[in-house]
Amino acid sequence: MALQRNKAQLNSTISPWIKKRIDEIANTQDFASLSDVVSQALSEFIGRYDMKKQLEQMQYMKTSVDNSVVIDGSEESGEVLEELRNGEREWQSKEKKILKRKVSFE
């Protein structure tokens, strides 16, 4: 019975420089194949992209709440603003950890 992998095929055009670097990296003992290099690179990109979008959304929400607090000055608005600030600090902390961690090729 043949081993089936849960992978989808992707065909794309990239610059010669990127292709050369992928080939060089794939030929090291850190990766099993060119596909592994591309999969890991895209996974890391998607993770950072998603985090960036979440941070942008939180910043937008914080700005909206900041504006409403200035306008209405209610205690409830202040509590919502504090929750957003706490959430933003938490995401910034997570982002810093991701950016600081060493990439493991094992």
The pLDDT tens digits of the residues spanning 41-51 come to 999 999 989 98
Cα-atom radius of gyration of the chain, to the nearest Å?
21
pLDDT value at residue 59: 76
In the chain, where the domains are located: 35-68
* pLDDT per position as a tens digit, 60-76: 776 766 666 555 555 66
Is pTM beyond 0.85 here? no
The closest of 94, 98, 74, 75 to 86, measured between CA atoms, is 94
